[in-house]
Amino acid sequence: MGTSPECMTTRRVLWLLVFFGFAVNYMIRININIAIVGMVRHPKSKGGRASDECLPAATVSAGNASGSASGSGWGVAAMRGAGLNGSLAAFNESSGTLNGSSLVLAFLGHSNDTAAVAKAVAAPDDHEEWSRFDWDERQQGLVLGAFFWLHWLTQLPGGILARRFGTKLVFGLSNALPGLMAALIPAASHWDYRALLAIRLVQGIIAGFCWPAMHFLTAQWIPPNERSKFVTAYMGSSVGAALTFPLCGLVVQTMGWPSVFYGCALLTALWLVAWWMLVFDTPAQHPRIAPEERLAIEKAIGHLVGNPRTQRTPWKSILLSGPVWINVVAQWGGIWALFTLLTQAPTYFNNVHHWDAGMAGLLSGLPHLCRISVAATVSQVGDNLLRKGVISRTTLRKIATAVCDIGMGLFILGLAWSGCDALMAVVCLTLATGCHGAVSTGPLASMVDMSPNYASIVLGICACITAMPGFISPYIVGQLTLGNQSTEQWKKVFVISGLMSIGTGLLYVVLADSEVQPWNNPEISSTDQEKELKALNKEEKNKEGECIKS
């Protein structure tokens, strides 16, 4: 593959394992978001909490008539104009949800064949009714938010422990243990929903070590002008979400919701084996790295990263740093909006648009493919601009954060006003989540820029605070939609998230600074550290194209 460090494969292997590690991380977080659609009895069976406003009048009448005659709730009905190009849709007689197979038939040209559509409607889920629970919206909100109740508590310790014991151990165990614990969720749910809350709580506590620990590895392995591209590995979380939603939806429909958690535990075990065999904390510790690549990495990082065992953490300087806190602000708004969409999208589509677990999962997962695409594109363009000296590091981070927070917020406001237009809801959800992919070139990369030495601690402080929307948002949603799953109530949910994201993004654009901070390495002036980075930029320009030539 040539001798240029750019062509070596060790960092690529590292990128892949980090990528799949974060995919596992998000799979653990959100598997219950789609599984809960199969775990809980449909709201219609408990007094009509689901909204009928997004159903055609004829369909509602037919459902009510069938319910009056048989006591079963919703009758099988075909409808037109559900916002999906006039396609037919059918309802599961026992659950009152849109069946994905009828939509497929409609798109394949059977839109006028009501018999074909009716035949495609899934059989009632009576065989799984014993495994469903009578949890109201408040209890569901607790289940969805329990992971995050104390998730914030271990964020800062995650950064500190990574500096002490290395990312391989800290990230590996804190990612794997919650995944293996997923196998306990089915039994706990049947015992008592509070036992489920306890397991989700412990999963969240352990998983809290993950993200800050990874920034330490990034600082040790990745030269400054490659960071945006490498941090896209963190967007493995998007692929995890994109696959988890539709696959879990399919599993819920075909094998039952407990299989979701058993499958997650198995995938986690497979990832852990690969991680333990192939990842090392520094280039110097890697037994198979090419000497040329190790030398290139160590030369590129230079004095920006010191020995963590001999450095004293400048806590006061970090806690009083304006650039640190403006990153916290930007992350708060973006994560609030993202977690609201991640956590609530399946429930929203199920209760408002009446889509079953399969359809809700498919259309909740689609936006995250858009997110990883945006992350890859923005990071590639951003790193190229930095290498060519076209743009400053701070300006790049501001532009990326504007896309991430402000762009996301605008599309969430579009979702808020989508009403019963299912197509508009899917488009706005997809674009909003996609915009958040720019976070890998914005606040996430900025934390390593400001302080390669203490990036894990900076991210730990940030994540400690920004983990809170993970449990605050589900609680607010539960309160707003309790007994009222109308589009008006969901509009309030999305308006709060949209304005939060836009406001914090504007603050970042005005106040952010992503240059190396003086407290990163007190022994070397910040001016000298910036000179070192500029020298690296010049060196990178000379190396461009070496991979192609070789």
Burial class (CB in 10 A: 0-12, 13-18, 19+), 294: middle
Closest CA relative to residue 14, chosen from 240, 369, 263, 294: 294
Contact 90, 56 (CB under 8 A): no
Q: Which position has the higher pLDDT, 284 or 499?
A: 499
C-alpha–C-alpha distance, residues 162 and 273, integer Å: 20
Most confident range (mean pLDDT) of 3-17, 168-182, 235-249 is 168-182
- Output the pLDDT for position 43: 53
Q: Which residue has the tokens 């390669």?
A: 452
C-alpha–C-alpha distance, residues 355 and 397, integer Å: 38
- Output the pLDDT for position 360: 58
Every domain of the chain and the residues it spans: 9-41+133-281, 323-517
Q: Which residue has the tokens 């894990």?
A: 456
* pLDDT mean across residues, the chain: 77
- Output the pLDDT for position 306: 57
C-alpha–C-alpha distance, residues 273 and 277, integer Å: 6
Query: 50 forms bridges with which residues in the sheet?
Result: 485
Q: How many helices (H) and strands (E) does the chain have?
A: 26, 0
C-alpha–C-alpha distance, residues 440 and 228, integer Å: 6
Band the pLDDT of 277: cuts 50, 70, 90: very high
C-alpha–C-alpha distance, residues 183 and 202, integer Å: 13
CATH classification number, 9-41+133-281, choose in 3.40.109.10, 1.20.1250.20, 3.30.300.30, 3.40.605.10: 1.20.1250.20
C-alpha–C-alpha distance, residues 413 and 491, integer Å: 8
- Output the pLDDT for position 246: 77
Percent of the chain whose pLDDT exceeds 90? 27
- Output the pLDDT for position 527: 52
- Output the pLDDT for position 35: 85
Query: 133 forms bridges with which residues in the sheet?
Result: 40
- Output the pLDDT for position 238: 75
C-alpha–C-alpha distance, residues 122 and 101, integer Å: 8
- Output the pLDDT for position 243: 78
Q: Write the pLDDT tens digit of every residue in 407-442.
A: 999 999 999 999 888 889 889 999 999 999 899 889
Closest CA relative to residue 23, chosen from 365, 439, 361, 429: 365
- Output the pLDDT for position 105: 34
Which CATH topology does 323-517 take?
A: Growth Hormone; Chain: A; (1.20.1250)
- Output the pLDDT for position 182: 94
Burial class (CB in 10 A: 0-12, 13-18, 19+), 50: buried
pTM for this entry? 0.68
Is a pLDDT exceeding 80 seen at residue 509? Answer: yes
Burial class (CB in 10 A: 0-12, 13-18, 19+), 488: exposed
The yes-or-no answer to whether 9-41+133-281 and 323-517 have a common fold is yes
Q: Which residue has the tokens 């559509």?
A: 117
- Output the pLDDT for position 262: 95
Range name among 119-133, 423-437, 518-532 with the lowest pLDDT average? 119-133
Pair of tokens at residue 502: 């836009």
C-alpha–C-alpha distance, residues 348 and 346, integer Å: 5
Q: What is the DSSP string of 397-426?
A: HHHHHIIIIIIHHHHHHHHHT-TT-HHHHH
Is a pLDDT exceeding 80 seen at residue 57? Answer: no
Range name among 71-75, 140-144, 321-325, 531-535 with the lowest pLDDT average? 71-75
